[in-house]
Structure 1
């Protein structure tokens, strides 16, 4: 096997996340982020080692168990570099598993790869699927609950606020968002970007009210900069503002930095191209 390089795009928090009914599963609609990418390189050799480019994304033991579960062991060195921080709510952990499977040449369907990720970590983002924003995803079960209409275009700017917060698979303390699902589907079918951004903000505000932090600045920043809505990492530190196309003000990045956001990222979501 020769040297291999793979890249996996992350996400930037979730457009919606919560319980589908008071006792229902934790589900989410992911916000894919092409600006945050994990690159993984494999150099064949003896033994097995994995390096995280400054981050502890996967231990060698977990990586070996994951590969053994796929029936695709590797001999050599894996090096990963992630543009997103671990615990940021941007999919670093899932991206690392997806990249490792692809380096090993595992020919799995997205559903099978999601099952392998659940077996490894107990929770997973839907980064192994194309157009993840069109899935209502049960993150603790690794399965699609519903297929959704295409997302109209947004322009997004944001960063990371506060300490990292890794996902705990047994954590079920999320608000009920069942009432948001039909409005989401209707607004997406109609291409109503402003309505979708508002719904994302409602979901974010429910999570922040339940889980904190108490003095999160994202809603105030959205109002100050004229955003249509906001998005957060519901189990991470990602914080972003959703704008209608072409409406991010020039002063947005400095304002976010002044409010304490780090790693400012700007990207386009939804739409065509």
Structure 2
């Protein structure tokens, strides 16, 4: 039976997504899957909105469990307006859960929200935290492994390659990135964008070599003079990394000509 509970007045909320990961992989052969998310303030989920609510996006059992975990009781979930497609590696599902909870007035510990999201998704992004790109995040455990310095300020031009693919929480087939995490600590501590872009590129290449698919992003980065590139390690988002003010004319057109859809640009990183 449909829930007819009348909700309390809902505060408007906007939860930014991400655009793939700077790095993602296993911390050693038997270690957890860990990542540093590439924060994307240009993409977000707004609530309340005109689109479907959680009860249309996830199973009734999962949504009921999410409400119980947050102490919300019977809920008439608000509609949601996501800027990003599901399965693109842009954080749509996590952002929908976080936006829904906040629109219902929930203001608790972000880690409690992370655990509730994990119960629904099986693998969750750190979008409930105020600075998600400053965490080394175990996505299949919904826990922060380490606090990090922020990535340097940069500009991204990116888009989506191929058809959406939802994350399989049982999938642990990722390359070892223990060395990249060590390099990352030093690069962000120095605010070294060239090093950060190189580390992201290596993570993306390892993922593509192991998991596919082949794509044109390496060649695009070289042809457009990007510092490097990043990808959604379980989605379709692909990103070129540029120093602020250094995106060349024609970059957007070049990505479209290479077959990427939804091409756009945004700034990310920095201390604020």
Match of 1:266 in 2: 265
Match of 1:136 in 2: 136
Match of 2:3 in 1: none
Following TM superposition, by how much is the alpha carbon of 1:166 offset from its aligned partner in structure 2, in angstroms?
Answer: 0.7
Match of 1:12 in 2: 19
Q: Distance in 2 between matches of 1:77 and 1:149?
A: 36
Alignment: residue pair count: 264
After TM superposition, list the pairs within 5 Å mapping 1:109-188 onto structure 2: 109-188=109-188
CA deviation digits over 1:207-244, x for unaligned, max 9? 0000001x311111111111001010001000000011
Following TM superposition, by how much is the alpha carbon of 1:78 offset from its aligned partner in structure 2, in angstroms?
Answer: 1.9
Q: Secondary structure at the match of 1:66?
A: helix
Q: Is the 8 A contact 1:73 1:104 kept in 2?
A: no
* Change over 3 Å in CA distance of 1:74–1:9 after alignment to 2: farther
Q: Distance in 2 between matches of 1:39 and 1:147?
A: 28
Structure 2 residues without counterparts, runs of 5 or longer: 1-7
Following TM superposition, by how much is the alpha carbon of 1:187 offset from its aligned partner in structure 2, in angstroms?
Answer: 1.1
Match of 2:41 in 1: 34
Match of 1:252 in 2: 251
After TM superposition, list the pairs within 5 Å mapping 1:176-255 onto structure 2: 176-213=176-213, 215-255=214-254
* Change over 3 Å in CA distance of 1:173–1:257 after alignment to 2: same
Q: Is the strand fraction higher in 1 or 2?
A: 1
* Change over 3 Å in CA distance of 1:5–1:74 after alignment to 2: farther
Match of 1:88 in 2: 88
Q: Secondary structure at the match of 2:88?
A: coil
Q: Secondary structure at the match of 2:78?
A: strand
Q: Is the 8 A contact 2:10 2:104 kept in 1?
A: no
Q: Secondary structure at the match of 1:78?
A: coil
The alignment's TM-score, normalised by the length of structure 1, stands at 0.92
What root-mean-square deviation, in Å, do the aligned CA atoms of Structure 1 and Structure 2 show? Answer: 1.8
Q: Secondary structure at the match of 1:183?
A: helix
* Change over 3 Å in CA distance of 1:80–1:180 after alignment to 2: same
Match of 1:78 in 2: 78
* Change over 3 Å in CA distance of 1:42–1:59 after alignment to 2: farther
CA deviation digits over 1:6-48, x for unaligned, max 9? 21100000000000001100000001101101112179xxxxx
Q: Distance in 1 between matches of 2:222 and 2:49?
A: 45
Q: Is the 8 A contact 1:35 1:265 kept in 2?
A: no
CA deviation digits over 1:182-203, x for unaligned, max 9? 2111111111100100000000
Structure 1 residues without counterparts, runs of 5 or longer: 44-49
Q: Distance in 2 between matches of 1:105 and 1:52?
A: 15
Match of 1:51 in 2: 52
Q: Is the deviation greater in 258-267 or in 200-209? A: 258-267
Q: Secondary structure at the match of 2:127?
A: coil
CA deviation digits over 1:83-125, x for unaligned, max 9? 1110000000000110111122223211111111112221100
Q: Secondary structure at the match of 2:12?
A: strand
Following TM superposition, by how much is the alpha carbon of 1:75 offset from its aligned partner in structure 2, in angstroms?
Answer: 4.2
